Amino acid sequence: MTASMTASLSASHRPFNFSAGPSAVPEEVLTQVAAEMLDWQGSGMSVMEMSHRGKEFGSIHEAALRNLRELLQIPPNFRILFMQGGGLGENAIVPMNLSRGGAVDVVVTGAWSRKSAGEARRYADVKIAADGANAAGRHESIPPAASWQIRPDASYVHLCSNETIDGLEFQHLPDLKALGSDAPLVVDCSSHILSRTVDWSKVGLAFAGAQKNVGPAGLTLVVVREDLLGHALPICPSAFNYQTVADNNSMFNTPPTFAIYVAGLVFEWIQRFQYAGKTGLAALEQRNIDKATLLYQTLDASSLFENRVAPEARSRMNIPFFLRDERLNDDFLAGARARGLLQLKGHKSVGGMRASIYNAMPLEGVQALVSYLKDFETQHG
């Protein structure tokens, strides 16, 4: 890289990246990773060159576990596992560990929960407890929990708490006990983990690929209640057996060490994050609310752009929107790129645009997008 390229990418001049994933990482974290790349804290090694069993990586690993537990207030009867295989891997790993080959009920609220149901069918007797698709096949609202058909023998109930593609988010996790079910709730929270607090009293297991809100692809976070360990099907690979992974403190096989290190730096960034008089996760959640509110208000006030999701089901993280005149799509994207607003094209299955405004997206990024939306509408409205 030439000196001028380095200069043009320096902190204050980086474009705003709206990618749905892998997605933006806090700039402070990238800067620290760069500074420590050749020599991690006087060790003479890059983190990616260290033994996962050495004391240096051991301290990185333990700090990451401790800080994640503190940030999300994870109770002591839950284990944190650092795994590999991503969200799609967990779609198979969860039923192999929790279903005992029996009944699995899935609440379908969009593309990701539908995919989870399909994969679980290879290992268990899957039934769709509810499907929120409308007559056009689109997901624009979440079916009320009281309408879900949960079987008495369900080994677990699966939902996706933030549908990355459709742009729907549960604002509260359901209380399955109040619905008359003792089944544990399994939550795919890949695309909004650490954007808000979690009520663990309602959760049996939560999983998340790291590449949306936590750090590099390759790390999968699993938070599992201890009583759910130890029931894996015989076909479950040892490296994906939650009991085995837990017994070995996520070191049964080599964990994704560099991704764990970067995730650990992101956890520390959240811990010191300040906004609106708050600190830590509460501050980040407040900024996420403010960013999403600003963008939805702008879309709702526009006669050119629209978001079609019911207000109470709208995601704070992934905001799909459409131009009422789709012939303007290419112009819109080219103009956005010219202003340093990257990766706004919608998912191919939905079309239109999508702004993913994860934790690392500053308020200024959403303000820049909003002012572009307004300018574009003035020119083309």
Instruction: Looking at residues 294 to 323 of the shown chain, list those that interact with ligand PLP (rule: CB under 6 A).
Output: none
359 touching ligand PLP, by CB under 6 A: no
Catalytic site includes residue 112: yes
C-alpha angle 359-89-234 in degrees, rounded to nearest 5: 140
**Listed residue (51, 16, 5) closest to 343, CA to CA:** 16
For ligand PLP, the closer CB: 87 or 167: 87
Ligand-binding annotation for 211, yes or no, is yes
Q: Which stretch binds ligand PLP (CB under 6 A): 6-14, 85-93, 229-237, 298-306?
A: 85-93
The alpha-carbon radius of gyration of the chain (Å, integer) is 21
The interface with ligand PLP within residues 17-56 (CB under 6 A) comprises 21
Binds ligand PLP (CB under 6 A): choice among 109, 190, 241, 343? 190
Paired with 223 in beta bridges are 80, 206
- Asked if 112 is part of the footprint of ligand PLP (rule: CB under 6 A), the reply reads yes
User: DSSP label at 137?
Assistant: S
Q: Which of 23, 191, 213, 307 binds ligand PLP (CB under 6 A)?
A: 191
Strand partners, 140: none
Contact by Cβ (8 Å): 202, 354: no
As given in the structure block, the two tokens for residue 109 are 């609220």
3-state secondary structure of 290: helix
Span interacting with ligand PLP, options 71-79, 87-95, 131-139, 352-360, rule CB under 6 A: 87-95
Could you tell me if 46 and 262 are in contact, meaning their C-beta atoms sit under 8 angstroms apart?
A: no
Phi first, then psi: what are they for 252, rounded to 5°? -60, -50
Quick check: 370 binds ligand PLP (CB under 6 A)? no
Best CA proximity match to 191, nearest among 176, 224, 213: 213
Choose the catalytic residue: 40, 148, 212, 269: 212
Report how far residue 322's alpha carbon sits from residue 347's, in angstroms, rounded to the nearest whole number. Answer: 12
Annotated catalytic residue: which of 40, 105, 112, 148?
112
Q: Is 200 a catalytic residue?
A: no
- 167 belongs to the binding site for ligand PLP (CB under 6 A): no
Does 248 count as an annotated binding residue? no
Please tell me the distance from the alpha carbon of residue 189 to that of residue 169, in angstroms, as a whole number: 10
Strand extents, DSSP E, 164-303: 168-169, 185-188, 205-209, 220-225, 274-275, 278-279
Among positions 45, 88, 294, 363, the unique one binding ligand PLP when judged by CB under 6 A? 88
Q: Which of 87, 95, 167, 216: binder of ligand PLP (CB under 6 A)?
A: 87
Give the binding range for ligand PLP (CB under 6 A) out of 81-89, 141-149, 175-183, 261-269. 81-89
Report if residue 269 touches ligand PLP, rule: CB under 6 A: no
Stretch of residues binding ligand PLP (CB under 6 A), selected from 184-192, 227-235, 286-294, 296-304: 184-192
Contact between 132 and ligand PLP by CB under 6 A: the answer reads no
Alpha-carbon span 357 to 16, nearest angstrom: 10
Residue 106's nearest CA partner among 169, 149, 166 is 149
Distance CA 334, CA 323 (A): 14
CB of 188 to ligand PLP, least distance (A): 5
Residues 232 and 242: beta-carbon distance below 8 Å: yes
112 is in an annotated binding site: yes
Q: Is 119 in the site for ligand PLP (CB under 6 A)?
A: no
Q: Does 109 bind ligand PLP (CB under 6 A)?
A: no
Beta carbons within 8 Å of 346's beta carbon, 6+ residues apart = 320, 322, 352, 353, 354
Residue whose structure tokens are 């959240």: 270
Asked about 227 being catalytic, the answer comes back as no
Among 188, 243, 262, 321, binds ligand PLP (CB under 6 A): 188
Binding stretches for ligand PLP (CB under 6 A):
21, 86-89, 112, 160, 164, 188, 190-191, 209, 212
Known binding positions for pyridoxal 5'-phosphate:
112, 164, 188, 211, 253-254
Known binding positions:
53, 112, 164, 188, 211, 253-254
Catalytic positions, written as ranges:
112, 188, 212
